[in-house]
A and B are shown apart, each in its own frame.
Chain A
């Protein structure tokens, strides 16, 4: 096989592997009987996942990640829409990077 064809084959293999991850959770969940435990666990799953994504980012990313997260949540809690919260967080990080 030519090198070019192998590149495309690799891209396709990565795509199929990723499609499998996107679809399989939905199906695996169908095999689990939905009792009280599963229902309560599913209720807590989104929050637990987001926290699991953020925790190592904050620890590895240092102050920039912590500032971005704190500013974003603070602006949102002040009742201002999410878009401004997001850009406010980026502006805070950019500003500190400019100064430091």
Chain B
């Protein structure tokens, strides 16, 4: 199915199915939040502040980096700019969602956009390829991940270093493994693989030049998509 099909629905059933689909991600999100909570406690953030940041920002990498550069009193503008630079990949992800969400009332499309994270976005794009119409799956999947993230943050901040290193259980690999699971349904076929090759090459080079932020995702995604756009179908 082409991704420019105009039809879209938005139902409670979609919320439920999205939540069910992303249960393993909610689990990953909890452990990610645990890691952030420990870090936030070490940095000196209170329980309310750590959980408040997770609830409002809801973007792991940018929160981890903020803890890395945090000072008391904090540099408000610098932290906001750093968060923007790290989350800049969301801009391109949101662009890819437009053909799907365009037909929805603003409140609904924006509920889906605000619950968008890397993992549930990738999942949504993958099921969309298989014919999914219900954009509310983004809300359901985002919601369970949000719950995991915020509760994990709370436990991590409160329990601190009592917790063993989650890396022992391979939890740090859950996100790369999850992304890999979306690859088969996004697979364009061997004859149309050049956008992927170009995207990977551009991403690696840009990541080496600009390791801070996610400019490599923006650059690789846009250049790869442009190469795909230029080629014949």
Q: Which residue of B lies closest to A30 (CB)?
A: B98
Residue from B23, B129, B181, B221 within 8 A of A45 (CB atoms): B221
In the complex, chain B residues whose CB is within 8 Å of the CB of A8: 49, 52
Interface size class of A (residues with CB under 8 A): 35 or more
Would you call the interface of chain A mostly helix, strand, loop, or mixed? helix
Interface string of B215-233 (1 = CB under 8 A from A): 0110111111111111101
Is the Cβ of A86 less than 8 Å from the Cβ of B178? Answer: yes
Residue from B63, B73, B96, B231 within 8 A of A6 (CB atoms): B73
In the complex, chain B residues whose CB is within 8 Å of the CB of A72: 177-178, 180-181
B176 is an interface residue with CB less than 8 A from chain A: yes
Interface string of B162-193 (1 = CB under 8 A from A): 00000111111110111111111011100000
Residues of A participating in the B interface, judged by any CB pair closer than 8 Å:
3, 6-26, 28-30, 34, 37-59, 61, 64-65, 68-69, 71-73, 76-77, 82-83, 85-87, 89-94, 97-98
Residues of B participating in the A interface, judged by any CB pair closer than 8 Å:
2-4, 23-24, 45, 49, 52-53, 56-59, 62-63, 66, 72-77, 79-81, 83-84, 87-99, 101-102, 109-110, 113-114, 116, 118, 122, 125-126, 129, 167-174, 176-184, 186-188, 195-196, 198-204, 207, 216-217, 219-231, 233
